[in-house]
Amino acid sequence: MNIKRNALLALMGLVMAGTAVTGASAETLHPRREQVNERTVHQMHRIHEARRDGQISAGQAWRLEKADYRVRMQERRMAYRHHGHITRAEQGRLNHEENRIGHRIPG
């Protein structure tokens, strides 16, 4: 479980930096991808705040982080199919999923 947590923290660092690492180089993200990833980072922050304030348990926080991680991985797969871009429909789908996760975060 520690390895998963470390991988998640490393991913959060990449998302917060606003870059996607491909091979040895880093490139800026497409605006739609950036918007989705900013939402993911914001929700991660909300999850950590709720956990720190005692509003949710460690297990609940872990499940919410895992759900956010799945959205991030889905976004990356979508972008891979379109050479670094996501379509408006895909952005809408990802935002819908982020909304569903967001409703589960107290506060």
Location of structure tokens 């880093």: 26
pLDDT of the residue at 2: 58
Residues β-bridged to residue 28: 19
Nearest-angstrom CA–CA distance, 20 and 38: 13
Nearest to 85 by CA among 38, 27, 25: 27
Each residue's pLDDT expressed in tens, for the chain with a length of 107 residues = 555 566 556 655 655 554 444 443 346 889 999 999 999 999 999 999 999 999 999 999 999 999 999 999 999 999 999 999 999 999 999 999 999 999 999 98
Nearest-angstrom CA–CA distance, 76 and 103: 23
pLDDT of the residue at 19: 44
3-state secondary structure of 100: helix
pLDDT of the residue at 20: 44
HEC profile of 16-71:
HHCEEEECCEEEECCHHHHHHHHHHHHHHHHHHHHHHCCCCCHHHHHHHHHHHHHH
pLDDT of the residue at 28: 80
Nearest to 58 by CA among 67, 48, 68: 48
